[in-house]
Every structure is written in C-alpha cells, then in structure tokens.
Structure 1
Amino acid sequence: MISIYHNPRCSKSREALQILEENSTNFEVIKYLEDTFDQEALENVISLLGIKPIELIRKNESIWKEKYKDLDLSDNDLIAAMVKHPKLIERPIVVNGKKAIIGRPPQNILNIL
C-alpha cells in the first residue's frame, strides 16, 4: 500500500497527490498535521528515506527559526521537534513498501511507484 503524507494547503503536496491519483489506484492519504507522527513512526520514515533527520526539517518555518535554528540538536532532538511541531516536516512524503521519497519536485514520486 502506498501512503502519502499530505498537507492539503501545500501546492507541492497537492501536485504529488494528483500524480498518485493519475498513476495508482491503491494509496492512502495521511494528513500528517492532523494524524501526527509519533517518534517511532517518524524514525521509520526517515530510515526509509535514507536521510538524516536534519534533511527532513523545513528550515524556513518560523517555528524552526524561533525555537531551534541556533541550537546544537541531536538526531533524537530533531525528531522530537518534528513530532511536537509537524509543520517542520518537509512534504509531501510518499512511502511505497520499503521505499520512501520526498515529493520535491512532485515528479520524484514516480521513481517509487
């Protein structure tokens, strides 16, 4: 089952969802700002993405700039920040089995369909 971690207010996320609708019939939409990640689930997605937690942070978000930017944070601290403030998580994220990709640009998701 394909999952898209989606923010309906984000144009890139809406574009990625459209690509899924055009190319797949079996997927679930997870509005991650409402149905938030817990620590373990976010760690799993980061592992599937094959990136460091800092690479999933939206560094232009005001929450990041105001609360975290100047701190020396461990990977666990970064994950905890994203769990507490899901707006910090880059989007959209598409997971297909044991593969995941950040849909920036949205056409990237075609690589794992």
Structure 2
Amino acid sequence: MTTLYHNPRCSKSREALHLLEEEGETIEIIKYLEKPPSHQELKQIIELLGIGPIELVRTQETDWKENYKGKNLTDEEIIDAMIENPKLIERPIAIKGTHAVIGRPPKKVLDIL
C-alpha cells in the first residue's frame, strides 16, 4: 500500500495519483490540507524523504514569503510552520514502507514501487 499526501486541487498531485492507480497500487489518500500531519508524523515523513525540513517547504507560497522568509528558523519551527499552514507542504508525497518521494515531477512517485 502507498500513502499519498494529496491535494486534489493540484494538477501534479492528481497526476501522481493517476499514475499510482494505473500501476494497480492500493492507495491511502491523505488530504493533508483537511487533516494536516502531526508534528511527529511530519518529522517521520521528512526522515523518510532524507531531506531537511526547509526542503519540504513551498517557499514561493505567499504565506511563507510574508511570515517566514528571511527569518532564522530552527528545523522545529519550520515543521511547526508547515503544520500551522499545511499549504506550505510540498506535494504530493508518496510513502511505501520505508521509502518516500516528493512527486515532482509526478512520475517520481513510481520510484517507490
């Protein structure tokens, strides 16, 4: 089973979902804008991705630019910012077992199958 952190309004996220469905993958869809991950869940996702928290942030989002850009934030503060403003989380994120990828481009989600 693949878990997909998904935003149905995002074309890249929809495309990633479609690619997984075409592969016959069983998918647990998490609409993270409606149900943001907890602090611990987001830390685990970041660890699985093998990146730093800032690499999961959509730094071109208005909320980031207006409220966080240029500030010297700790990793914990960056994670808290994503939880408070889940649209700052890069999407889509696909997780299968101990492997995770950001679906940019969407076909990257196939790397974990």
TM over 0.5: yes
8 Å Cα contact 2:4/2:17 also seen in 1: yes
Confirm or deny that 1:110 pairs with 2:110. Answer: yes
Contact 2:2 2:25 in 1 (8 A): no
Q: CA RMSD in A?
A: 0.7
Q: Distance in 2 between matches of 1:48 and 1:87?
A: 20
Q: How far has the Cα of 1:27 moved from its partner?
A: 1.3
Matched positions, count? 113
Structure 1: any 5+ residue segments left out of the alignment? none
Residue 4 of structure 1 aligns with which residue? 4
- Provide the residue aligned with 2:60 in structure 1: 60
Q: Percent identity among equivalent residues?
A: 56
Structure 1 length-normalised TM = 0.98
Q: After TM superposition, where is structure 1 displaced by more than 4 Å over at least 4 residues in a row?
A: none
Instruction: Report how far residue 24 of structure 1 moved.
Output: 2.8
Structure 2 residues not aligned, in runs of 5+:
none
How does the TM-score come out when normalised to structure 2? 0.98
Q: How far apart, CA to CA, are the structure 2 residues paired with 1:7 and 1:56?
A: 15
